A = this chain, B = another copy of it.
Amino acid sequence: MDTSLPHISVGLLGLGTVGSEVARLLRDEALIAERSGVRITLAKVAVAHPGRGRPGVPPGALTGDPWEVVTSPGVDVVVELIGGIEPARSLALRALELGKPVVTANKQLLAEHGPELFERANRSGADVRFEGSVGGGIPLVRAIREALTAARIHSITGILNGTTNYVLTRMAQEGWSFADALAAARREGFTEADPSDDIEGHDAAAKLAILASAAFGCRVTSGDVFREGIAAITPRDMAYARELGFAIKLLAIGRLRDGEVEARVHPALIPLAHPLAQVADEFNALEVEADGLGPVVLSGRGAGGPPTAVAVVGDIIDVARRRALGGRGFADPFRLLPRRIRPIDDIVLPFYLNLQVTDRPGVFARVATVFGEERVSIASIVQKSRGEVAEVVLVTHDAPERSVRRVLARLRELDVVKTVSSVIRVEATV
């Protein structure tokens, strides 16, 4: 190895799935030096039980105290892989105060406290990098923040959670129920012990908040994202959707419309020919649309230790290079334009509905009248007799969510409507 190269020391917080893979990649110092032009060494690693020793980490580098890593003069760059809000937030803020760049894969921290970190980074001239927080080894953050800086991005549409995509793929391909598909995901190791973070869309919402903030230059937090999970999707919805030419995916959607931001995570019908309809199993993908650019789609394995570690080390190399060159640090400007988050009620979309109605003459007309009176126009309607009850599958034209809610409330009051079993939004653009 070329010892004349500039040298940067890394302090690592956390040695879990991603952390130990980051440590493993950094061990190949010669490879990293050859590719980056910088010698990068792992100087300190904070773990919960330093006494245990870790294969591949010099015992002298281990400590039980993350603050020691952050404040050590021997650490130039801090890599936060603890996860959660505290103490990760305080540690990152302190590192930035000390002028040390922070690399993190902590989506929750970014999605909830991103602006605080960026503001602190801007003051000290350090840098916050977070490619690993979204999309594993797919360079989503880099594409939005760097490659497409010159483009006016008006839409991002993603499949950002591998667990739910795996579940929906099994339901679509095997005809399984949600519960059976979730059990399969568990067997394959694609779920957390408590899968609700994935299933209810929290994970995707945090990732969308991060990407939408970067794409539209404003503050979007997890709490700003409208969120609906996939537990209510049935195999019958899957089958009808396919009949109509659609797949059902858990989409994370960010749109800039008339200066306002739409940010929502929910199951949606998308045309089978749409590139995102073809993203199967645990894969993730993001479609970015910008003026003059045409759709750009990035896809890959969105999670897991090794892909995320590749993203984290890519960020480490970037900040190490920058630091090694002298000059002051650079906090990428994270624009914070004052944009309103558009409430879900004001969002205009087509809807797919599945109703169970009494199977007798005139029912159809009564249902259609409700839609007409609420000015929600129907694009297609199919009635299937299933004995005593008939099933009505119906897709509307574009309609404001608030109008569809009124339609639903009125339908539920009709004695001929037994149940409204499904209401799923439709993303109709290909």
Report A's interface with B, CB cutoff 8 A. Answer: 21, 25, 31-32, 34-37, 131, 137-139, 142-143, 146-152, 217, 275, 278, 283, 290-301, 304, 306-307, 309-311, 313-314, 316-318, 321-322, 325-330, 332-333, 335
Knowing A150-B317, A217-B34 are in contact, say whether A139-B142 is a contact too (CB < 8 A).
yes
Which one of B21, B151, B314, B316 contacts A147 once the chains associate, using CB atoms below 8 Å? B314
Q: Which 3 A-B pairs have the closest CB atoms?
A: A327-B327, A292-B306, A139-B147
**Given known A217-B34, A292-B307, contact A150–B297 (CB-CB < 8 A):** no
- Is A298 a contact partner of B297 (Cβ separation < 8 A)? yes
Q: List 13 A-B contacts (CB under 8 A).
A: A21-B292, A25-B150, A36-B149, A131-B147, A137-B290, A146-B317, A150-B313, A292-B306, A295-B301, A296-B300, A321-B330, A325-B327, A327-B327
Q: Contact at B294–A307, with CB atoms within 8 Å? A: yes
Q: A137-B294, A150-B313, A151-B310 are in contact. List 16 more A-B contacts (CB 8 A).
A: A32-B150, A34-B217, A35-B335, A37-B330, A37-B332, A137-B296, A139-B296, A142-B142, A148-B314, A150-B314, A290-B310, A291-B306, A294-B300, A294-B301, A322-B325, A326-B327
B151, B298, B311, B322: the one within 8 Å of A298 (CB): B298
For A149, what are the chain B residues with a Cβ–Cβ distance below 8 Å? 32, 35-36, 313-314, 317
A35 to chain B, nearest CB (A): 5
How distant is A90 from chain B, measured CB to nearest CB, in Å? 27
A38: nearest chain-B partner, CB-CB: B333
- Given contacts A148-B137, A149-B35, A293-B137, whether A328 and B325 have CB atoms under 8 Å apart is yes
Assess the A311–B147 pair: CB atoms within 8 A.
yes
B317 with A293: CB separation less than 8 A: no
Q: Are B275 and A299 in contact (CB under 8 A)?
A: yes
The distance in angstroms between the C-alpha atoms of A328 and B321, with both chains bound, is 11
User: How many angstroms from the CA of A325 to the CA of B36 in the assembled complex?
Assistant: 19
Residue of B nearest to A2 (CB): B333
A329 to chain B: closest residue by CB: B325
A139 touches B150 (CB 8 A): no
Residue of B at shortest CB range from A297?
B299
- Nearest CB of chain B from residue A329's CB, rounded to whole Å: 8
Question: A306 vs B294: C-alpha distance in the bound complex, in angstroms?
Answer: 9
Chain B residues in 8 Å Cβ range of A321: 330
- Whether A297 contacts B300 by the Cβ 8 Å rule is yes
**Alpha-carbon gap, A25 to B151, bound state (A):** 8
Cα distance, A333 to B325, chains bound together (Å):
13
- Shortest beta-carbon distance from A291 to chain B in Å: 8
Bound: A328/B283 CA distance, A: 40
- Smallest Cβ-Cβ distance to A152: which chain B residue: B31
The answer to whether A143 and B150 have CB atoms under 8 Å apart is no
- What is the minimal beta-carbon distance from A39 to any residue of chain B, in angstroms? 12
Query: Which residues of B lie under 8 Å from residue A293 when comparing CB positions?
Result: 137, 300-301, 306-307, 310
Once bound together, how far apart are the Cα atoms of A362 and B25, in whole Å?
59
With both beta carbons as reference points, the residue of chain B lying nearest to A325 in the complex is identified as B327
Q: Is the CB of A142 within 8 A of B137?
A: no
Determine which residue in A25, A146, A291, A307 has the highest number of CB atoms from chain B within 10 A of its CB, and name it. A146
Complex contacts, A311 vs chain B, CB 8 Å: 147
Chain B proximity of A334: nearest CB distance (Å):
10
* Distance between Cα atoms of A49 and B311 in the complex (Å): 47
- Please report the C-alpha to C-alpha distance between residue A37 and residue B37 in the assembled complex, in whole angstroms: 26
Q: Which chain B residues border A314 with CB–CB below 8 Å?
A: 146-150
| Residues of chain B contacted by A292 (CB below 8 angstroms) | 21, 306-307, 309-310
In the complex the two chains form, what is the Cα distance from A291 to B217 in whole Å? Answer: 34
Q: Closest CB of chain B to A292's CB: distance in Å?
A: 3
Please measure, in the bound complex, the distance between the C-alpha atom of A187 and the C-alpha atom of B186, giving whole angstroms: 53
Task: Point out the residue from B21, B278, B316 that lies within 8 Å of A278, measured CB to CB.
Answer: B278
| In the bound complex, CA of A292 to CA of B291 (Å) | 35
In the complex the two chains form, what is the Cα distance from A311 to B298 in whole Å? 16
Note all chain B residues with C-beta closer than 8 A to A330: 37, 321, 325
Distance in angstroms between the alpha carbons of A317 and B295 in the assembled complex: 22
